[in-house]
Amino acid sequence: MKIVVLKFGGTSVGSIGKIKKVADIINEHKKKNYKVIVVSSAMSGVTNELVKKSQEISENFSDEEYDALVSSGEQIACSLIAGSLVHKGLKARSWLAWQIPIFTKGLHKNSRIVKINKNKILHYLKEGGIPIITGFQGINNSHRVTTIGRGGSDATAILLAKFFKAERCIIYTDVEGVYTTDPNKLKKAKKIKTISYEEMLEMASLGAKVMQPVSIQDARLNRIDIEVKSSFVNKSGTLITKRSNIINNKIITGISSTHNDSKVTLIGVKDKPGVAASIFKPLSKNSINVDMVVQNISANGKETDLTFTIKKDDLFKTKKIIRENKNIEYRKLLFTKGVSKISIIGVGMVTTPGVTFRMFQALAKKKINIQVISTSEIKISVLIDKFDTKKALAVLHKEFRLDK
């Protein structure tokens, strides 16, 4: 059985006109003799509206009821898609995740798919039907509806492709693919034809919003190739695949940037074992993600200045936690809001010396000051003033010839 999984994001199903266009795309794949499995997100803006309603009810809205509430958005979109296909004379119906069922484990609002019962869907496919499946959700062992994190419809599609051994998995969105950097910030950004799982994972984790990081990790672990393309224009997209499938002469594949970071600095912290742990443990317990970390030891070796970054939304909570922490001593506490993280990503830097120097020199020529640095095997990130973001993207894009 030749199966293709098609996933449509919120912008692709954001209006009745767009849903009719989605039905045409599905029909085109059906005409190519594919057995088509469709996954849909909620219509754009619907999930945010539902979240807003939960917040109006309570600041501490039940996680179980949150999942029951926000999962309803996908039900609406899937029903409309199925109805559009039926109108065209095709056999189609919507499937809620619990009807299949798609089993999950973990906490509400952030579960993971562990098993998909294939029997009902396989039978429906053999009958010539097109199942339209709600993304982003499943059920747990208590038969409660769960959700798998914002953007989780990507993960639903990828794991359906895994369990049904699909030949293709296509993610339809409002852009033509993955770009060298955000085209809204830099007009010279170019569409990437092929990108490795590792590079895409770094880009998604560092601010690129094309796909959810967890979904890319699922694709990498299960070796599922993903094509990201536009539902609005009929052009080839970006293939996300394993490194060995890529022939690429570029050192850097892409550049990502963030705009919602804050920097925290503790000056004059006593330098002794366990101090860093006592700072970061309460942050971890409060689900505050710490990103870039740098430590400077004083000349006498008795004190250190510790700097790290967090999301801007967590700044107020972080201030409160640190100030109430009786296990640490420091002379001064500083907070900076207007910062941005710029990251260059590419598997080519593993075997190419001088990449760090080129990045730092290019920024220096534009008088862009680097505040914090962090690196991995295929990534270099720097923290800079937020007002220098566009200038930094432009100079690095040119330095590594990404506009060629």
Rounded to whole angstroms, the Cα distance separating 94 from 85 reads: 11
* Spans in the chain with pLDDT lower than 50: none
Q: Are 263 and 154 in a shared domain?
A: no
226-230 and 168-173 beta bridge pairing: parallel
Half-sphere exposure of 386 (CA within 13 A, CB side): 11
Residues 8-46 pLDDT 10s: 999 999 999 999 999 999 999 999 999 999 999 999 999
Residue 388 in any domain: the answer is: yes
Residue 78 in any domain: the answer is: yes
Q: Are 281 and 392 in a shared domain?
A: yes
Residue 288 in any domain: the answer is: yes
Residue 309 in any domain: the answer is: yes
Q: Are 169 and 262 in a shared domain?
A: no
Question: Any idea what the CATH number is for the domain that residue 75 is in?
Answer: 3.40.1160.10
Amino acid 18: pLDDT: 97
Question: Any idea what the CATH number is for the domain that residue 352 is in?
Answer: 3.30.2130.10
Q: Are 276 and 393 in a shared domain?
A: yes
Q: Are 30 and 165 in a shared domain?
A: yes
By CB atoms closer than 10 A (0-12, 13-18, 19+), residue 354 is exposed
Rounded to whole angstroms, the Cα distance separating 303 from 330 reads: 9
Q: Which domain holds residue 369?
A: 257-399
Residues 149-192 pLDDT 10s: 877 899 999 999 999 999 999 999 988 899 999 888 888 999 99
Residue 296 in any domain: the answer is: yes
Amino acid 195: pLDDT: 92
Residue 134 in any domain: the answer is: yes
Q: Are 163 and 265 in a shared domain?
A: no
Q: Are 38 and 166 in a shared domain?
A: yes
Q: Are 166 and 296 in a shared domain?
A: no
State how many domains the chain has.
2
Q: How far is CA 3 from CA 120, 121, 167, 197, 277, in A?
A: 15, 12, 6, 22, 49
Q: Are 163 and 279 in a shared domain?
A: no
* Residue that finishes a domain, picked among 154, 174, 194: 174
Residue 251 in any domain: the answer is: no
Omega cis (within 30) before 131: no
* Residue that finishes a domain, picked among 135, 152, 174: 174
Total number of residues shown for the chain: 404
Q: Are 168 and 261 in a shared domain?
A: no
* Residue that finishes a domain, picked among 174, 190, 206: 174
Q: Angle 72-87/16-31 helices, nearest 10 degrees?
A: 60
Please check whether residue 2 is in contact with residue 36, taking contact to mean a CB–CB distance below 8 angstroms.
no
Amino acid 403: pLDDT: 83
Amino acid 209: pLDDT: 67
Please check whether residue 381 is in contact with residue 345, taking contact to mean a CB–CB distance below 8 angstroms.
no
Residue 231 in any domain: the answer is: no
